[in-house]
Amino acid sequence: MLPKPSLTVLMASPRGFCAGVDRAILIVERALEKYGPPVYVRHEIVHNRHVVQSLRDKGAVFVDDLQDIPTGRPVVFSAHGVSKAVVGEAEDKALFTLDATCPLVSKVHHEVLRWHSKGHHIIFIGHRGHPEVEGTMGQVPAGAMTLVETVADVADLSMSSDTPMAYATQTTLSVDETMAIVAALKARYPHLQGPKKEDICYATTNRQEAVKRLAPLCDMFLVVGSPNSSNSRQLVQVAMDYGCPRAVLLDTPDPLHRLPLVGGMTVGLTAGASAPESLVQDILRALQDHFSVETKEESGMSEGVSFRLPVILEGND
The yes or no reply on residue 102 touching ligand SF4 (CB under 6 A) is yes
The yes or no reply on residue 79 touching ligand SF4 (CB under 6 A) is yes
Least Å distance, CB 194 to ligand SF4, is 18
Strand partners, 270: 223
Candidates 97, 136, 174, 231: give the one binding ligand SF4 (CB under 6 A): 231
6-11 and 220-224 strand pairing: unpaired
Catalytic residue of the set 29, 44, 111, 132? 132
Candidates 201, 214, 235, 244: give the one binding ligand SF4 (CB under 6 A): 201
Omega of the bond leading into 255 within 30 degrees of 0 (cis): no
User: With CB under 6 A as the contact rule, which of the stretches 16-24, 86-94, 189-197, 250-258 interacts with ligand SF4?
Assistant: 16-24
Strand partners, 125: 148, 169
C-alpha span between 187 and 181 (Å, rounded): 10
Site for ligand SF4 in 157-176 (CB under 6 A): 171-172
Binding mask 106-145 for ligand SF4 (x = CB under 6 A): ----------------------------------------
Least Å distance, CB 65 to ligand SF4, is 23
Candidates 10, 31, 41, 105: give the one binding ligand SF4 (CB under 6 A): 105
121-125 and 165-169 strand pairing: parallel
Q: Judged by CB, which is closer to ligand SF4: 79, or 165? A: 79
Quick check: is 33 catalytic? no
User: With CB under 6 A as the contact rule, which of the stretches 27-35, 51-59, 99-107, 275-283 interacts with ligand SF4?
Assistant: 99-107
C-alpha span between 119 and 122 (Å, rounded): 9
The yes or no reply on residue 250 touching ligand SF4 (CB under 6 A) is no
Least Å distance, CB 162 to ligand SF4, is 33
The yes or no reply on residue 19 touching ligand SF4 (CB under 6 A) is yes
Length of the chain: 317
Using DSSP's 3-state secondary structure scheme, residue 92 falls into: helix
Q: Judged by CB, which is closer to ligand SF4: 204, or 270? A: 204
Q: Judged by CB, which is closer to ligand SF4: 284, or 309? A: 309
Q: Judged by CB, which is closer to ligand SF4: 97, or 231? A: 231
DSSP annotation of 275 reads S
The yes or no reply on residue 271 touching ligand SF4 (CB under 6 A) is no
User: With CB under 6 A as the contact rule, which of the stretches 49-57, 109-117, 196-204, 289-297 interacts with ligand SF4?
Assistant: 196-204
Long-range contact set of residues 277-286: C-beta below 8 Å, sequence gap at least 24: 277/15, 277/16, 277/17, 278/50, 279/50, 279/224, 279/251, 279/252, 280/11, 280/15, 280/16, 280/224, 282/252, 282/253, 283/222, 283/224, 283/250, 283/253, 283/256, 284/9, 285/253, 286/253, 286/256
Omega of the bond leading into 3 within 30 degrees of 0 (cis): no
From the number of C-beta atoms within 10 Å of its C-beta (0-12, 13-18, 19+), residue 299 rates as: exposed
Strand partners, 268: 10, 221
Q: Which residues are identified as catalytic? A: 132
Chain residues that interact with ligand SF4, rule: CB under 6 A = 18-21, 79, 102, 104-105, 171-172, 201, 203-204, 231, 273
